[in-house]
Amino acid sequence: MKLEVPDRPVVAASTPDPATFNSFRLLQLLILGLTIAGVVVGLRVTAPGGIAPVESVAFGLTVIWALVGVVDTHARDRIGSKVSPFHLIAAVDALVAMIALTAGRKAAVLHAPGSARDLATLAAVVVTAISFHFLLALPDGRLRQPSRRTAVVIGYVAALGVGIGLAVNHQPFTVVDSAISWSIAAVLAIAPLRARYITSIGYHRDRMEWFGIGVSLAATVALVATVLHLLVGWPGPLGAVTAGATALVPLGLLAGESRRLGPHGSRMLVQVLAVFGFVVVVSAIYLVVVLGLGHAPKTAGDKEALALAILASGVGALIFVPVRARFVDSATRFVYGSREAPDEVLRTFGSRLTRAIPMDELLLQLAESLRKTMGLTSAEVYTGTGEVLERTASVPDLGPASLVVSPRERPVVTRAGVSGTAWASVWLPALLQGRENEQVRVAPVSHAGELLGLIVVERTAMASTFSDDDDRVLTDLARQVGLALHNSQLDTALQTTLDEVRKQADALRESRARIVASGDAERRRVERNLHDGAQQHLVALAVNLRLARDIIVDDQEAGLEMLEQLAGEVQEAIQELRELAHGIYPPLLVDSGLVEALRAAANRNPLPVDILADGIGRYGSETEAAVYFCCLEALQNAAKHAPDSRVEVRLWEESGGLLFTVADDGPGFDPEKAQRGHGYVNMADRLGAIGGTVRWDSEIGKGSQVRGSVPLV
């Protein structure tokens, strides 16, 4: 079957041309008027005995189909200036059918086998072709696929050929011929209709659903009427009733055009198809039993009794669904006493699976339901992911307990199904302590090959044995519990991850706040040092230079002596500025790298410092600055808190990272207190900004060590 393009409900990109649309509507109304006029003419043809019921119904059907042809679709089928031919096809079909009926009635009543009968024959054949065209063009009246257009053309050519042949030979196109031709057309259209329905969406799908509802209801009414006619001889005019039932098809199409009824077609179609299937089964049973195996009713009493029996079966079918639930509840209470059927726990457990109920409470409810529905002495649920399983829930309450499942036993228990006492005595003997003579069933709870727990149920030795249904319930329930426990673990892991992310986010915000504050404080320190140090020196130099100029005029030797003094002060100012710049960002770190900058810092430190940095090269400026200032902070802390110690600074690369330690052999300190100090916080912020970490290790009397790492990837 060729894959079709889905029918898409297209909203008009532009308003249809008013003249074109008005002409289209005028044509539809003209066809309706001609159809009604032809029906009136046909019904006015008098004949002995009046008009047959089936003819009256047929004339009425043409009017209904003509009304379908002029229904207002609220421009839902308009695309640009074009209008859907769907309703026009229905109207033309009704008009041609009216011509066939009127001409045929005139020919029959007036006994004119000539032109009127030939026209009726040709029109009746063409009606079949138009109906076939209508079915293939559903739901919008367009034949988008070449195969459909070819089939319609073949249908028209064949119909015209047959009609002209019959008309030339003055042969009628009988009702049986029409039924056969329509049946063939319907069978040929089933597959294309199904394909178009699957790919249709929106109001096109609504229209096809309501068309299906009309066809199903019409078939149901026709089938019921036929069966009743065969069995009890009612209704009398079977042809009129079955023909009248087909009025449900155009009425269904009209319902599909309603914006209120259209969207409800899918549910209605399901119910109607279910009713039709039930009617087919019941009808077949009655026909086989009454006509095939029994005897057809002869007398009026037999027919009346059979009609009442059919009516009783119909009423019973209608009320069976509402009363079935009550009967099932009553039967369950009778068989199981006050408890429910064993498999009821499966449905109730699945309905209770929600994050609103804690897992412990859910497992306790499960144990209670198991004990109630299966008539147990006790029900227990063990959970755990390691070698130890804990009793999470038990009814009656047996208190906490543990069960050890060794690595050797774990694969066997995981793969085992619902097992009994003999199996448990071999693999889980601890479960049988105190109930060696009772009936025990063990259902492993697992997911994806991982043992997550056990369901253990117990009955007394005198109670009924566990059945296959009980084992099936335990198996299915263990599977559901395994999925629930797995989901609970995922929720817990997700919540833990979210908590960790929140903590990291809070730490990041605090770190950023500290960095901003530290930057502000550092800028204030630089400004203060410049103002109190270098700036004061430079101001004094400016004053002394003016004074030296005046002194040189009067006393040249005193002036030269003062200039030499000013040269020394200039050197002091330069040194002070150099030290200030060195504290902000050492030039040696930029020029020579991390190792040389640390050696220079070690030389300035009052403690003896050893630098071990073999194989250390150049890194990014952020990495070198972070490691340098962290080591510098550690050296300053060592000089402050361990004045008589020796310090060792070691740097090395390992596992894609740059690692360093600053260790001293001083008196040591309490790491918890140190972590609350500014030094540790500054180091953690510096390294954390580039993904690094820092840790302080120390014991009183055993020195201290600062460890840090920075990723190099």
HEC profile of 163-192: HHHHHHCCCCCCHHHHHHHHHHHHHHHHHH
Q: Please indicate, yes or no, whether residues 210 and 263 belong to a single structural domain of this protein.
A: yes
Q: Is residue 317 part of a domain?
A: no
48 pLDDT above the threshold of 70: no
Q: Indicate the helix (H) or strand (E) that contains 569.
A: helix 556-584
In this prediction, residue 4 has a pLDDT band, given cuts at 50, 70 and 90, of: very low
Q: Is residue 575 part of a domain?
A: no
Q: Indicate the helix (H) or strand (E) that contains 649.
A: strand 647-654
Spacing of C-alpha 95 from chain mean position: 50
How far apart CA 445 and CA 501 sit, in angstroms, is 32
In this prediction, residue 530 has a pLDDT band, given cuts at 50, 70 and 90, of: low
Q: Indicate the helix (H) or strand (E) that contains 159.
A: helix 146-168
Name residue 650's amino acid.
Answer: R
How far apart CA 449 and CA 592 sit, in angstroms, is 59
E strands, 414-481, are 439-447, 450-459
Whose CA is closest to 27, among 95, 97, 115? 95
| CB 445, CB 481: distance < 8 Å | yes
Q: Is residue 90 part of a domain?
A: yes
How far apart CA 670 and CA 677 sit, in angstroms, is 11
CB neighbour list of residue 40: distance below 8 Å, 6 or more residues apart: none
Share of the chain above pLDDT 70, in %: 82
Structural domain of 249: 202-298
Q: Is residue 326 part of a domain?
A: no
- Mean pLDDT value across residues 184-195: 90
638 pLDDT above the threshold of 50: yes
Q: Please indicate, yes or no, whether residues 601 and 462 belong to a single structural domain of this protein.
A: no
Q: Please indicate, yes or no, whether residues 482 and 352 belong to a single structural domain of this protein.
A: yes
Q: Please indicate, yes or no, whether residues 186 and 220 belong to a single structural domain of this protein.
A: no
Strand 388-395 relative to strand 378-383, pairing:
antiparallel
Q: Please indicate, yes or no, whether residues 348 and 405 belong to a single structural domain of this protein.
A: yes
How far apart CA 141 and CA 83 sit, in angstroms, is 10
Collapsing DSSP states into helix, strand and coil, what is residue 375? coil
Residue 521, pLDDT score: 64
In this prediction, residue 80 has a pLDDT band, given cuts at 50, 70 and 90, of: very low
Residue 175, pLDDT score: 77
How far apart CA 204 and CA 206 sit, in angstroms, is 5
Residue 79, pLDDT score: 39
Q: Please indicate, yes or no, whether residues 84 and 229 belong to a single structural domain of this protein.
A: no
DSSP track, 1-69: -PPPPPB--PPPSSPPPHHHHHHHHHHHHHHHHHHHHHHHHHHH---TT---HHHHHHHHHHHHHHHHH
Residue with tokens 């030499």: 564
Half-sphere exposure of 350 (CA within 13 A, CB side): 9
Q: Please indicate, yes or no, whether residues 249 and 184 belong to a single structural domain of this protein.
A: no
In this prediction, residue 16 has a pLDDT band, given cuts at 50, 70 and 90, of: low
Largest Cα separation within the chain, whole Å, is 161
Q: Is residue 325 part of a domain?
A: no
How far apart CA 74 and CA 258 sit, in angstroms, is 10
Give the range with max mean pLDDT: 244-253, 530-539, 634-643: 244-253
| CB 627, CB 708: distance < 8 Å | yes
Last residue of a domain, one of 200, 227, 258: 200
Whose CA is closest to 188, among 125, 136, 127, 253? 136
φ, ψ of residue 178 to 5 degrees: the values are -65, -45
141 pLDDT above the threshold of 80: yes
Domain at 359, CATH number: 3.30.450.40
- Among 3-7, 283-287, 411-415, the least confident range: 3-7
Q: Please indicate, yes or no, whether residues 615 and 638 belong to a single structural domain of this protein.
A: yes
Last residue of a domain, one of 162, 185, 200: 200
Please measure the distance between the N-terminal and C-terminal CA atoms of the chain and give it in whole angstroms: 57
Collapsing DSSP states into helix, strand and coil, what is residue 710? strand
Q: For residue 365, what are its two tokens?
A: 């409810």
Query: How many other CB atoms are found less than 10 A from the CB of residue 50?
Result: 9
Whose CA is closest to 54, among 245, 322, 325? 245
- Among 81-85, 293-297, 361-365, 679-683, the least confident range: 81-85
Share of the chain above pLDDT 90, in %: 21
Collapsing DSSP states into helix, strand and coil, what is residue 711? strand
> What are the pLDDT digits (tens) for 496-517?
888 888 887 777 777 666 665 6
Q: Is residue 259 part of a domain?
A: yes
In this prediction, residue 584 has a pLDDT band, given cuts at 50, 70 and 90, of: low
CB neighbour list of residue 316: distance below 8 Å, 6 or more residues apart: none
Helix axes 678-688, 621-641, angle to 10 degrees: 170
Query: How many other CB atoms are found less than 10 A from the CB of residue 242?
Result: 20
278 pLDDT above the threshold of 50: yes
Q: For residue 683, what are its two tokens?
A: 């180091």
Residue with tokens 């299937």: 277
580 pLDDT above the threshold of 50: yes
Q: Which contacts (CB < 8 Å, 24+ apart) does range 528-534 have? A: 529/580, 530/580, 533/576, 533/580, 534/573, 534/576, 534/577, 534/580
Q: Is residue 330 part of a domain?
A: no
How far apart CA 377 and CA 466 sit, in angstroms, is 13
How far apart CA 305 and CA 291 sit, in angstroms, is 15
Q: How far is CA 498 from each of CA 256, 354, 503, 688, 708, rounded to the nearest angstrom?
A: 51, 20, 9, 20, 27
- Mean pLDDT value across residues 532-539: 64
Q: Please indicate, yes or no, whether residues 157 and 96 belong to a single structural domain of this protein.
A: yes
Give the range with max mean pLDDT: 316-325, 352-361, 700-709: 700-709
- Overall number of domains in the chain: 4
Whose CA is closest to 490, among 447, 445, 444? 447
CB neighbour list of residue 399: distance below 8 Å, 6 or more residues apart: 391
How far apart CA 708 and CA 630 sit, in angstroms, is 9
- Among 348-357, 661-670, 677-686, the least confident range: 348-357
Q: For residue 453, what are its two tokens?
A: 């727990």
Q: Is residue 320 part of a domain?
A: no
Residue 445, pLDDT score: 93
Q: Please indicate, yes or no, whether residues 88 and 190 belong to a single structural domain of this protein.
A: yes
Residue with tokens 């025990």: 440
Q: Please indicate, yes or no, whether residues 377 and 401 belong to a single structural domain of this protein.
A: yes
6 pLDDT above the threshold of 60: no
φ, ψ of residue 643 to 5 degrees: the values are -65, -20
> What are the pLDDT digits (tens) for 353-365?
666 678 888 888 8
Last residue of a domain, one of 298, 331, 359: 298
How far apart CA 622 and CA 691 sit, in angstroms, is 11
pTM of the model: 0.54
Q: Please indicate, yes or no, whether residues 104 and 26 belong to a single structural domain of this protein.
A: yes
Helix axes 86-109, 18-44, angle to 10 degrees: 20
How far apart CA 627 and CA 601 sit, in angstroms, is 13
Q: What residues are paired with 711 via a beta bridge?
A: 657
Q: Average model confidence (pLDDT) for the chain?
A: 81
Q: Return the DSSP state at 77.
A: T
Residue 11, pLDDT score: 40
CB neighbour list of residue 431: distance below 8 Å, 6 or more residues apart: 403, 424, 440, 442, 454, 456
Domain at 622, CATH number: 3.30.565.10
In this prediction, residue 469 has a pLDDT band, given cuts at 50, 70 and 90, of: confident
161 pLDDT above the threshold of 60: yes
